[in-house]
C-alpha cells in the first residue's frame, strides 16, 4: 500500500486552503476589474444579451464571493455555475461528453488528458463531472509560468491549482521538486480523496499531435517507486484515466502556428526562443472568449494493472486518446486539403469551407499550412491507432 501520510508542507504548490483561501477571496472581492474583465470576454452577442449577462454575473458574484469557504465550493458555485455556463452559452455551440458513466466513484482518479486550451481542458472536464454528480471536482496541475501576478495566482489557486515549477537551478533541485509534486498527488488522491487533472505532456499541443510524455507517468509514480512499489501494484491503487477533448475550432490556431514557426526559426538561427511574459495569459483569454464551435470530451478506461512500466502506460494513454478523439468536419477537411485528396469529402459536405478558410487568407502560407496540419493530425493519429489495433 502506498504511504501518503506525509508531514511535508505542500502549501507552496497546493491549492489555497483555510486562511490562505479566505484571504484570496477577500482580495478578489476588492479587485475592481474582476467582473468587468470577465464580462468583456463574453462580448460575442448583442448588447441586450451582454447587458443581462453583466447584470446577472455581477449580482451572483457579489453574493457568492461572500459565502464560499473552499476551492470545491468556488469551483462549483462560481466557476461552474457562473463563469463556465456563460462561456458555454457565448462561445460554444454544443458541449457534449461521454464515458463518465464508466468511471467509478469508489475512489478518485488521475485524469490524463490531451492539452488544447490553457484552462478550458480541465475546466470543462470539471463541468462534466459536476453535471453528472461524479463526486468532488478535480484539482489541476499547471505550470507556475501562469502565475504572472497576484490576481492570476489567486484565481488559479482558489480553483484548485497545483503548481509545477518550470525552472530549477540544479538537477538536485529539479529532482526534489518532482518528488514533492509526486508526493502531493498521492496525498490528494489517497488522503484527501480528490481527483486530479494533468496534461499528457508539458504545454499545449500546438501541432495537433497528442503524444503522452513518459516523464509525466514517471513523475506520478515516483513517490510509490521510492517506497519500492512496482508499477503494476501502483496501478492497482491509483486509477489513471485517459481523456480526449476536441474542439471543432481552435481559437488559438493561428497564434499557435505563428509561435511555433517563430520558435523553429529562432532555434535554427540563435538556438534560443523566449516566450513573452504575458503571452500565455493572452492565449488564455483568447481561448475563453472566441468561438470554439462544438466541444466534446470522451473519458476512457482506467489503465489496467497488467501494464508494468511508465513507457507502456504512456502508449496506452495515446491509443485511447487517438481512438476516442471526436473528429469534426474541420479535421476531415484539413486532412483532405493537406493530402490533396477528397477521401473524407462526405464528412464535411455540409461544412461552409469558404467561411472556415476565409480568416486564414491574410496570413502567410507557412502559417496557414501549419494550421491545416494542426487540424489534420488528429485524423492521422486516429487512422494510425486504428490500423495498429
Summarize pLDDT for 138-160 with one digit per residue, the tens: 999 999 989 988 999 999 999 99
Residue at 386 is within a domain: yes
Helix (H) or strand (E) holding 245: strand 239-247
* Same domain flag for 149 and 122: yes
At 33 the pLDDT is 66
* Same domain flag for 364 and 296: no
Parts of the chain with a pLDDT under 50: 45-49, 51-52
At 39 the pLDDT is 57
At 270 the pLDDT is 52
Contact 187, 10 (CB under 8 A): yes
Last residue within a domain, chosen from 309, 326, 343: 326
At 62 the pLDDT is 73
Contact 28, 82 (CB under 8 A): no
Q: Full-prediction pTM beyond 0.85?
A: yes
In degrees rounded to 5, what are phi and psi of residue 96? -125, 160
Q: In the block, which residue shows the cell 476551492?
A: 71
Last residue within a domain, chosen from 280, 299, 326: 326
To 10 degrees, the CA torsion angle through 329, 335, 337, 342? -80
> Domain total for the chain?
2
Last residue within a domain, chosen from 299, 326, 353: 326
At 52 the pLDDT is 45
Give the span between the Cα atoms of 244 and 180, in whole angstroms: 28
* Same domain flag for 314 and 389: no
* Same domain flag for 348 and 213: no
At 356 the pLDDT is 95
End-to-end CA distance of the chain: 34
* Same domain flag for 355 and 275: no
* Same domain flag for 216 and 274: yes
Q: In the block, which residue shows the cell 501520510?
A: 5
Residue at 37 is within a domain: no
At 209 the pLDDT is 97
Per-residue pLDDT reduced to its tens digit, 248-285? 999 999 999 998 888 877 765 555 556 666 678 889 88
* Same domain flag for 254 and 281: yes
Range of the domain at 241: 95-326
Count the neighbouring beta carbons within 10 Å of the beta carbon of residue 379: 25
41: its cell numbers = 470576454
Residue at 181 is within a domain: yes
What burial class does residue 179 get, using C-beta atoms within 10 Å of its C-beta: 0-12 exposed, 13-18 middle, 19+ buried? middle
* Residue 73 zone, left/alpha/beta (φ > 0; ψ -120 to 50; rest): alpha
7: its cell numbers = 508531514
Amino acid at each position: 500500500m502506498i504511504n501518503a501520510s506525509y508531514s511535508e508542507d505542500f502549501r507552496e504548490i497546493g491549492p489555497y486552503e483555510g486562511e490562505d483561501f479566505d484571504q484570496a477571496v477577500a482580495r478578489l472581492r476588492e479587485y475592481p476589474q474582476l467582473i468587468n474583465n470577465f464580462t468583456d470576454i463574453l462580448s460575442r452577442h448583442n448588447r441586450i444579451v451582454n447587458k443581462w449577462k453583466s447584470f446577472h454575473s455581477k449580482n451572483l458574484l457579489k453574493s457568492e464571493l461572500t459565502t464560499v469557504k473552499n476551492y470545491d465550493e468556488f469551483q462549483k458555485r462560481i466557476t461552474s455555475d457562473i463563469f463556465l455556463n456563460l462561456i458555454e452559452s457565448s462561445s460554444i455551440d454544443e458541449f457534449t461528453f461521454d464515458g463518465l458513466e464508466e468511471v467509478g466513484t469508489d475512489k478518485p482518479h488521475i485524469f490524463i488528458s490531451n492539452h488544447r486550451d490553457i484552462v478550458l481542458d480541465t475546466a470543462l472536464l470539471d463541468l462534466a463531472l459536476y453535471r453528472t454528480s461524479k463526486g468532488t471536482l478535480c484539482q489541476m496541475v499547471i505550470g507556475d509560468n501562469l502565475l504572472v501576478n497576484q490576481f492570476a495566482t489567486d484565481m488559479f489557486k482558489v480553483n484548485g491549482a497545483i503548481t509545477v515549477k518550470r525552472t530549477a537551478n540544479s538537477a538536485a533541485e529539479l529532482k526534489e521538486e518532482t518528488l514533492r509534486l509526486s508526493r502531493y498527488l498521492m496525498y490528494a488522491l489517497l488522503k484527501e480523496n480528490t481527483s486530479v487533472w494533468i496534461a499528457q505532456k508539458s504545454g499545449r499541443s500546438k501541432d495537433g499531435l497528442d503524444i503522452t510524455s513518459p516523464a509525466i507517468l514517471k513523475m506520478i509514480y515516483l513517490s510509490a517507486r521510492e517506497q519500492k512499489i512496482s508499477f503494476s501494484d501502483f496501478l492497482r491503487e491509483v486509477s489513471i484515466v485517459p481523456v480526449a477533448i476536441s474542439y471543432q475550432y481552435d481559437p488559438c490556431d493561428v497564434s499557435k502556428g505563428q509561435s511555433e514557426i517563430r520558435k523553429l526559426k529562432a532555434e535554427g538561427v540563435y538556438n534560443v526562443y523566449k516566450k513573452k511574459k504575458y503571452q500565455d495569459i493572452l492565449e488564455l483569454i483568447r481561448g475563453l472568449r472566441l468561438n470554439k464551435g462544438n466541444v466534446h470530451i470522451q473519458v476512457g478506461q482506467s489503465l489496467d494493472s497488467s501494464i508494468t512500466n511508465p513507457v507502456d502506460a504512456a502508449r496506452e494513454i495515446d491509443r485511447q486518446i487517438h481512438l476516442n478523439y471526436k473528429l469534426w468536419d474541420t479535421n476531415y477537411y484539413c486532412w483532405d486539403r493537406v493530402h490533396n485528396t477528397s477521401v473524407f469529402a462526405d464528412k464535411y459536405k455540409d461544412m461552409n469551407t469558404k467561411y472556415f478558410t476565409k480568416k486564414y487568407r491574410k496570413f502567410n502560407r507557412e502559417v496557414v499550412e501549419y494550421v491545416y496540419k494542426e487540424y489534420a493530425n488528429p485524423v492521422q493519429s486516429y487512422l494510425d491507432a486504428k490500423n495498429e489495433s
